[in-house]
Chain A
């Protein structure tokens, strides 16, 4: 794979482009503000963003390197972690905080478990997870009076 089509190079160009787009979107949105006071700052900053992101785009385009990239690692683990946490958020209003927490915890636990499961680890990890969750839940709900669903 040549340098100019490497993950690091393409990805860097794409992120720079994304930031330029974000700047453009800000300029577009700022045009509709009714109060001049709320316009000045976002417009100025958006211009700075477009210029700096644009420059980093151009620099990278002219001098391709393969620096950057997602690096080694197992994708399904990353995805499982994030998805389980997101899923917990979406089901939380329906099933309550603790059951949703179990989903997030389970996802994280499986994602982060690189060793072989043994009876001992299964028991130990899951039970310590339960303890951690119940402790935090009680702390927030009963001591700090946070209305957890």
Chain B
């Protein structure tokens, strides 16, 4: 027992020293991990998933706290005023951080955010209840074409990933559906399960959480999600839709380059842990490994696409 503890401690030491040689910055205590939403959403769940792995690898607690308000805007607007010593990090979400500042002055700009890692995304998916008459995506599209506007689809918020997906998909198919915004994915799913709406624009995570109660009609991924081998991608069905809500973590922009590098490496280490990947996949997430070096290119690409979509949808001018 004692030997094992010593071994463990030794291994941890080795890891910490090897890390310290890479980056000269260090953590000095528990980390304040701010989620700019309320608890229970995808951002919260994925942060919770990281917690034990981070503690195991780096010996410090990630203390999750919630600062909901303005669809995340309140948190992001306050981020750069926080201390950049590496003890405070904040979750960021795409497309929110692109669309919100493009619409109105919400107190922050996309390029002001010092994002150091994008670690997962939840692919868009159309979800129906298990007993829905829509067996395939074509059933839904056909119904929406035959009865314009009558197919109601719930989703989380407006100008959100769900809303953008709905507008984009309507454009692609030429069908007309009605988007009903709810406060968060949980409420949108409740409306679906309660048959208040006919379908939900959600994510693969909804399929994982609800199991047999729901059916995914299609997922917006390049390849099928390992958790849902029977659910086709939009691409297979002839619609060029790949995307969803992307989530990452940012530091205040006063953080030094060493600190940013340290964090990028640490989250990369968590993200490459096989057990962590498996847990995330089981919960319906899709993993992403964009670290600080690749961030600018990644963001530029996503930003261009979101702004184009939002402009076409009439959400921004």
A-B pairs with lowest CB-CB distance, top 5: A145-B63, A147-B32, A145-B32, A145-B30, A35-B158
Find out whether the CB atom of B30 lies under 8 angstroms from the CB atom of A147: no
A-B contact pairs, 5 of them (CB 8 A): A37-B158, A37-B181, A145-B32, A145-B63, A147-B82
Contacts of A147 in B (CB 8 A): 32, 82-83, 88
B65 sits at the interface (CB 8 A): yes
A97 to chain B, nearest CB (A): 14
What is B's interface to A at a CB cutoff of 8 Å? 30, 32, 63, 65, 82-83, 88, 158, 181
Give CA–CA (A35, B158) in the complex, Å.
Answer: 10
Q: A149: nearest residue on chain B (CB-CB)?
A: B83
Q: Which residue of B lies closest to A35 (CB)?
A: B158
A-B contact count, CB below 8 Å?
A: 11
Provide the bound-state CA to CA distance between A145 and B65, in Å.
Answer: 9
- Distance A84 CA – B316 CA, assembled complex (angstroms): 45
Give, as a whole number of angstroms, the nearest-CB distance from A145 to chain B: 5
CA–CA, A37 and B163, complex, Å:
14
Q: Is the interface of A mostly helix, strand, loop or mixed?
A: loop
User: Would you give the 0/1 interface string for A118-149, flagging 1 where the beta carbon is closer than 8 Å to chain B?
Assistant: 00000000000000000000000000010100
**Closest A-chain residue to B87, C-beta based?**
A147
List A contacts of B88 (CB < 8 A). 147
We find that the number of chain A residues with CB closer than 8 angstroms to chain B is: 4
Which residue on B lies nearest to A146, using beta carbons? B65
Tell me the complex Cα distance, A35–B65, Å: 31
Q: Mark A37-48, 1 if CB is under 8 A from B, else 0.
A: 100000000000
Q: How far is the CB of B269 from chain A (nearest CB, A)?
A: 23
Q: Digit string of A96-115 for contact with B (CB within 8 Å is 1, else 0)?
A: 00000000000000000000
| Complex CA distance for A147 and B30, rounded to whole angstroms | 11
Residues from chain A with Cβ under 8 Å of B32 in the complex: 145, 147
A14-36 with Cβ < 8 A to chain B: 35
Q: Tell me the smallest distance from the CB of B164 to a CB of chain A, in Å.
A: 15
Residues of A with C-beta under 8 A to B83? 147
* Separation of A147 and B83 alpha carbons in the complex (Å): 10
Nearest CB of B to A105, in Å: 26
* Separation of A147 and B82 alpha carbons in the complex (Å): 9
**Which residues of chain A come closer than 8 Å to B82, judged between CB atoms?**
147
Apart from A37-B181, A145-B63, A147-B32, list 8 A-B contacts with CB within 8 A. A35-B158, A37-B158, A145-B30, A145-B32, A145-B65, A147-B82, A147-B83, A147-B88
Bound: A37/B82 CA distance, A: 34
- Would you give the shortest CB distance from A144 to chain B, in whole angstroms? 9
**Cβ contacts under 8 Å, A37 to chain B:** 158, 181
Q: Which of chain A's residues have a CB closer than 8 A to the CB of B181?
A: 37
- Of A35, A37, A145, chain B has the most CB atoms within 10 Å of the CB of A145
Residues of A contacting B30 in the complex (Cβ-Cβ under 8 angstroms): 145
- Nearest chain-A residue to B83 (Cβ)? A147
Shortest CB–CB separation between residue A5 and chain B, in angstroms?
45
Q: A106 CB to closest chain B CB, in angstroms?
A: 28
User: Please, which residues of chain B bring their CB within 8 A of the CB of A145?
Assistant: 30, 32, 63, 65
Query: What is the distance, in angstroms, from B282's C-beta to the closest C-beta of chain A?
Result: 29
Residue of B nearest to A34 (CB): B103
Which A residues are CB-close (under 8 A) to B158? 35, 37
Closest to A38 in B: B158
Q: How far is the CB of B155 from chain A (nearest CB, A)?
A: 13
A145 to B181, CA, bound (A): 35
* Complex: chain B residue closest to A147, CB-CB: B32
Bound Cα distance from A145 to B62, whole angstroms: 11
How far apart are B4's CB and chain A's nearest CB, in angstroms? 31
User: Whose C-beta in chain A lies nearest to the C-beta of B317?
Assistant: A34
Give the distance to chain A from B86, nearest Cβ to Cβ, in Å.
Answer: 13
- Nearest CB of chain A from residue B286's CB, rounded to whole Å: 31
A18 to B32, CA, bound (A): 42
- Inter-chain CA distance A91–B98, complex, in Å, is 34
Complex Cα spacing A49 to B184, Å: 30
| Across-interface contacts of A35 in B (CB, < 8 A) | 158
Q: How far is the CA of A8 from the CA of B9 in the complex (A)?
A: 73
Shortest CB distance A31–B (Å): 16
